């Protein structure tokens, strides 16, 4: 089995990842812009083998001729329980999965992995008491709460074991979306974190209150001045 994905496999994977539901070969072919459905079927089968024989936490599920990209059963304990008992959507579940695996984790790292929409996910998860946050430099540190472990009836050690391979799957998907490799993405993340640490040390001085990334963004937006046509013409204080 090759460790590299063909273009067809990448296209099919992207469609399945985006739809998040059982999809027919015809629908996948149309979304990929491929007229040869046999090529799509071959790509699906190759992806199945890729996930089954590799260390990924993902798999392709089939039901009545439809296909869906999902987490393997042994990594889906949180998603299954949330889907059945809580009013969380898929993206929120994925954000919680990342936090659960890496807890404690800096909020800015979650935003980098899951995108700006995860601000809403984090707010909901905090409101439900599943995670807590506290100021950490210019961002916030996110942690799982006692309620999380009680709600999911799982020990902290079991969470780490169940999510050992999940980070690799997430990193791989993010890398493909960015058009790079997981290895290069990891090196970039390390470089960014080192720069943030260095900048934080240079900026933070006694008596100076460091503004969080959310507060800073909001403050900048409030200071923008617009004309009657809605065009930005300057910033207060300029």
CATH of domain 74-169: 1.10.10.10
What's the pLDDT at 107?
Answer: 94
What's the pLDDT at 218?
Answer: 44
Q: Residue 81 contacts by C-beta under 8 Å, 6 or more apart in sequence?
A: 152
Spans of all domains in the chain: 7-71, 74-169
DSSP annotation of 210: P
What's the pLDDT at 169?
Answer: 55
DSSP annotation of 75: G
**Measured between alpha carbons, how far is residue 45 from residues 11, 19, 196 in Å?**
14, 18, 43
Check if 7-71 and 74-169 are the same fold. yes
Helices (H), 103-236: 107-114, 118-127, 146-152, 156-162, 166-178, 182-203, 213-222
Long-range contacts of 124-132 (CB under 8 A, 24+ apart): 124/88, 124/92, 125/92, 125/95, 125/96, 125/99, 128/86, 130/96, 131/96, 131/99, 131/103
C-alpha–C-alpha distance, residues 201 and 190, integer Å: 17
Closest by CA position to 177, among listed 10, 40, 3, 5: 10
CATH of domain 7-71: 1.10.10.10
Average pLDDT, the chain: 72
Per-residue pLDDT tens digits for 149-158: 766 655 565 5
Q: Which residues face 70 on adjacent strands?
A: 59
Going residue by residue through the chain (238 aa), what tens digit of pLDDT does each one get?
Answer: 455 788 889 999 988 888 878 899 999 999 888 888 999 999 999 999 988 887 777 889 888 889 988 877 666 555 555 555 455 666 787 888 888 878 889 999 999 888 888 999 999 999 988 899 999 888 899 998 887 776 665 556 556 555 555 455 555 555 555 555 656 656 665 665 666 566 656 654 444 444 444 444 444 444 444 455 554 555 444 4
C-alpha–C-alpha distance, residues 11 and 34, integer Å: 9
C-alpha–C-alpha distance, residues 50 and 18, integer Å: 19
């Amino acid at each position: 089995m090759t460790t590299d994905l063909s273009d067809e496999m990448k296209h099919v994977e992207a469609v399945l990842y985006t739809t998040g539901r059982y999809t027919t070969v015809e629908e996948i072919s149309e979304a990929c812009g491929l007229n040869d459905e046999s090529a799509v079927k071959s790509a699906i089968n190759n992806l199945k083998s890729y996930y089954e024989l590799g260390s990924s936490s993902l798999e392709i599920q089939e039901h009545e001729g439809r296909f869906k990209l999902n987490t393997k059963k042994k990594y889906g304990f949180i998603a299954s329980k949330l889907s059945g008992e809580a009013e969380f959507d898929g993206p929120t579940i994925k954000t919680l999965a990342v936090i659960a695996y890496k807890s404690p984790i800096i909020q800015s790292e979650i935003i980098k992995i899951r995108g700006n929409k995860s601000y809403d996910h984090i707010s909901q998860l905090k409101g439900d008491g599943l995670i807590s946050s506290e100021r950490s430099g210019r961002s916030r540190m996110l942690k799982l709460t006692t309620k999380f472990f009680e709600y999911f009836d799982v020990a902290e050690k079991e969470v780490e074991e169940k999510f050992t391979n999940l980070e690799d799957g997430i990193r791989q998907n993010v890398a493909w979306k960015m058009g790079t490799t997981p290895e290069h993405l990891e090196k970039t993340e390390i470089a960014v974190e080192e720069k943030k640490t260095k900048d934080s040390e240079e900026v933070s001085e006694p008596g100076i209150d460091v503004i969080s990334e959310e507060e800073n963004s909001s403050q900048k937006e409030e200071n923008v001045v617009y004309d009657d046509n809605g065009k930005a013409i300057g910033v207060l204080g300029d």
